[in-house]
């Protein structure tokens, strides 16, 4: 096991320290030891010529399915997929079985016995069992390692409970992450409401179901001075509300998934369940608003909402199929292809979206940067490498992706966690 690793000659892009230049990076004892022209010898050298060397990517939204649903994914396989996608840290949602609403489960998920190859930061449930009734013990969860609370998938609709959650979270210094969906408007729905759902005869989720909850949460965050983070934003209307609130000084942040800035509801075609997720793929206008939000900086970060499912849960009637797609291994390819190559978003911004900003949102001290002294979590990628995603070769247990066989430009070369290379492309 190497104690030191020298990454030589790459283009170091570290927005947090304002760096974008060819340099060497020396990792030693799990920390960044030096950045610049380095003449020291190291136990191991990695030639990064022509590559981008970035602070390790952080995914604020993954479902690792453990405890309880390891037929879909395990913490070991999910984090292997993360490493293959360039993610050095993942934040795991609590909708497991049982729901992660306790310090015990939070610790269990982080135990070395789980075999994680990247850092796992649990997001604990905001209410017991995610039932939306009684708050969990935020302080104890925080102490056990939870970096945020959320009832992802089961949005907190009760105003009073949500207000209490925000107040408690603010006291502990963590954000509340909300899956914004007014489920009173989405009963029985399996896709976006609009011309496509009408044509396919599927019940639709209206845009208002997201925007309404985002609007409500913003008002509560304003009143409580807490931090609300909007998970997987998908509609122009909700994003508009986030922008206005931020301008007015409310502590609000938001993430978007690669599929919501890449795909639209029409991609469902003839009931292809690989395009079924929640929030659903929206209209072209909403998709374009997501791209605009990434380009103008109003969207803070990219998160995958990696949601692995077994084949038998997807190969069924569209309205019965499970919501969700995998995303860890395709996120960088999509971001570089769609945003950097096609729309000229600078690499610095790509790194902000995948590393710098998510680290800030959940207060991961010493991550999301390559500043000397920070954790030796590094993602090395080749922004020009052309490749095709092959779902059969995925490190995830699941194959539920709409991107099988899709061509991308830009691929992970190596993923380094705590100074150790955990993935080589």
Partner 1 sequence: MPARPAPGSLLGIEPLDIQDINGMLDAAYRMQKRRPRPLFKEKRVALLFYESSTRTRVSFEYAAKILGATTTLVSATASSIEKGESLIDTGYTLTALGAQAIIIRHPSSGAPHLLSRYVDVPVINAGDGLHEHPSQALLDAYTILRHKKSLKGLRVALIGDIFHSRVARSDVHLLSKAGALVTLCGPDALVPEVATTLAKGVAVTRDLKEAITGADVVIALRIQKERLAGLQLSLDDYISRYQLTAERVRWAKKDAIVMHPGPIIRGLELTADVADAERTVIVEQVKNGVAVRMAILARALGVKH
* Residue whose C-alpha is closest to residue 328's, from 396, 413, 265, 226: 396
Of 39 and 270, CB closest to partner 1: 270
Of 2 and 267, CB closest to partner 1: 267
The Cα-based distances of 421 to 5, 219, 407 in angstroms read 9, 44, 26
Of 29 and 198, CB closest to partner 1: 198
Q: Which two tokens stand for residue 122?
A: 């649990």
Q: Is the dihedral of CA 101, 106, 108, 109 positive or negative?
A: positive
d(CA 379, CA 329): 13
Residues contacting partner 1: total by CB under 8 A = 18
d(CA 40, CA 26): 9
Considering only 104, 133, 158, 272, the residue that binds partner 1 (CB under 8 A) is 272
In the complex, the smallest distance separating the C-beta of residue 330 from partner 1, rounded to whole angstroms, is 17
Of 112 and 188, CB closest to partner 1: 188
Asked if 393 is part of the footprint of partner 1 (rule: CB under 8 A), the reply reads no
Of 134 and 388, CB closest to partner 1: 388
d(CA 394, CA 329): 8
d(CA 379, CA 87): 7
Judge contact between 210 and 189, C-beta under 8 A.
Answer: no
Asked if 312 is part of the footprint of partner 1 (rule: CB under 8 A), the reply reads yes
Considering only 134, 139, 225, 320, the residue that binds partner 1 (CB under 8 A) is 320
Asked if 387 is part of the footprint of partner 1 (rule: CB under 8 A), the reply reads no
Considering only 40, 104, 158, 315, the residue that binds partner 1 (CB under 8 A) is 315
Region near partner 1 per CB under 8 A, out of 40-48, 65-73, 79-87, 269-277:
269-277
In 109-259, where do the E strands start and end?
Answer: 119-124, 148-150, 176-178, 191-192, 204-205, 228-230, 252-256
Considering only 184, 270, 373, 392, the residue that binds partner 1 (CB under 8 A) is 270
Judge contact between 378 and 370, C-beta under 8 A.
Answer: yes
Asked if 121 is part of the footprint of partner 1 (rule: CB under 8 A), the reply reads no
Asked if 284 is part of the footprint of partner 1 (rule: CB under 8 A), the reply reads no
In the complex, the smallest distance separating the C-beta of residue 200 from partner 1, rounded to whole angstroms, is 6
Contacts of residue 199, defined as CB under 8 A and 6 or more positions apart, other chains included, come to none
Region near partner 1 per CB under 8 A, out of 33-41, 69-77, 223-231, 270-278:
270-278
d(CA 258, CA 276): 14
Listing DSSP states for 12-55 in one string gives EEEGGGTEEEEEEEEEETTEEEEEES-----SEEEE-TTSEEEE
* Residue whose C-alpha is closest to residue 89's, from 404, 323, 379, 291: 379
d(CA 204, CA 309): 22
Enumerate residues 155-214 that contact partner 1 by CB under 8 A.
194-195, 198-203
Q: Which two tokens stand for residue 346?
A: 């600078």
Asked if 43 is part of the footprint of partner 1 (rule: CB under 8 A), the reply reads no
Give me the catalytic one of 305, 377, 382, 390.
305
Considering only 2, 319, 385, 418, the residue that binds partner 1 (CB under 8 A) is 319
Of 219 and 319, CB closest to partner 1: 319
CA angle 186, 207, 291 (to 5 degrees): 135
Question: Quick check: is 164 catalytic?
Answer: no
Region near partner 1 per CB under 8 A, out of 107-115, 123-131, 266-274, 374-382:
266-274
In the complex, the smallest distance separating the C-beta of residue 198 from partner 1, rounded to whole angstroms, is 5
Enumerate residues 323-382 that contact partner 1 by CB under 8 A.
none
Asked if 56 is part of the footprint of partner 1 (rule: CB under 8 A), the reply reads no
Of 76 and 200, CB closest to partner 1: 200
Asked if 46 is part of the footprint of partner 1 (rule: CB under 8 A), the reply reads no
Q: State the catalytic residues.
A: 305
The residue ranges that bind partner 1 (CB under 8 A) are 194-195, 198-203, 270-272, 312, 315-320
């Amino acid at each position: 096991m190497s104690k030191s690793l020298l990454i030589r000659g790459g283009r170091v892009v570290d927005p947090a320290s304002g760096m974008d230049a060819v340099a060497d990076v020396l990792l030693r004892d799990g920390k960044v030891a030096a950045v610049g022209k380095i003449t020291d010898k190291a136990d191991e050298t990695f030639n990064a010529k022509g590559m981008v060397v970035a602070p390790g990517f952080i995914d604020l939204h993954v479902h690792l399915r453990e405890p309880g649903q390891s037929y879909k994914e395990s913490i070991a396989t999910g984090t292997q997929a993360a490493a293959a996608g360039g993610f050095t840290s993942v934040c795991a949602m609590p909708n497991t079985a049982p729901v992660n609403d306790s310090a015990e489960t939070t610790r269990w998920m982080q135990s070395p016995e789980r075999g994680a190859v990247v850092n796992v930061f649990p997001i604990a449930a905001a209410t017991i069992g995610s039932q939306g009734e009684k708050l969990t013990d935020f302080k104890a969860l925080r102490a056990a390692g939870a970096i945020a609370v959320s009832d992802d998938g089961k949005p907190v609709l009760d105003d009073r409970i949500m207000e209490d959650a925000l107040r408690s979270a603010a006291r502990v210094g963590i954000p509340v992450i909300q899956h914004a969906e007014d489920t009173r408007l989405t009963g029985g729905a399996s896709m976006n409401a609009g011309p496509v759902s009408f044509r396919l005869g599927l019940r639709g989720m209206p845009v208002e179901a997201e925007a309404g909850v985002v609007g409500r949460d913003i008002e509560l965050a304003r009143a409580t001075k807490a931090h609300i983070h909007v998970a997987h934003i998908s509609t122009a209307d909700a994003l508009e509300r986030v922008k206005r609130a931020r301008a007015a000084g409310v502590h609000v942040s938001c993430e978007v998934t690669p599929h919501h800035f890449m795909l639209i509801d029409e991609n469902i075609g003839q009931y292809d369940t690989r395009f079924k997720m929640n929030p659903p793929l929206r209209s072209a206008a909403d998709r374009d608003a997501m791209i605009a939000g990434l380009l103008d900086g109003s969207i803070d970060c990219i998160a995958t909402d990696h949601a692995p499912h077994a084949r038998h849960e997807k190969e069924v009637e569209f309205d019965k199929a499970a919501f969700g797609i995998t995303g860890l291994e395709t996120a960088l390819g999509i971001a570089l292809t769609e945003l950097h190559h096609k729309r000229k978003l600078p690499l610095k911004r790509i790194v902000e979206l995948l590393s710098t900003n998510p680290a800030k949102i959940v207060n991961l001290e010493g991550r999301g940067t390559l500043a000397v002294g920070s954790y030796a979590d590094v993602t090395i990628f080749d922004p020009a490498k052309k490749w095709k995603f092959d779902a059969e070769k995925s490190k995830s247990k699941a194959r539920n992706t709409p991107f099988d066989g899709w061509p991308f430009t830009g691929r992970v070369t190596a993923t380094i966690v705590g100074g150790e290379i955990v993935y080589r492309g």
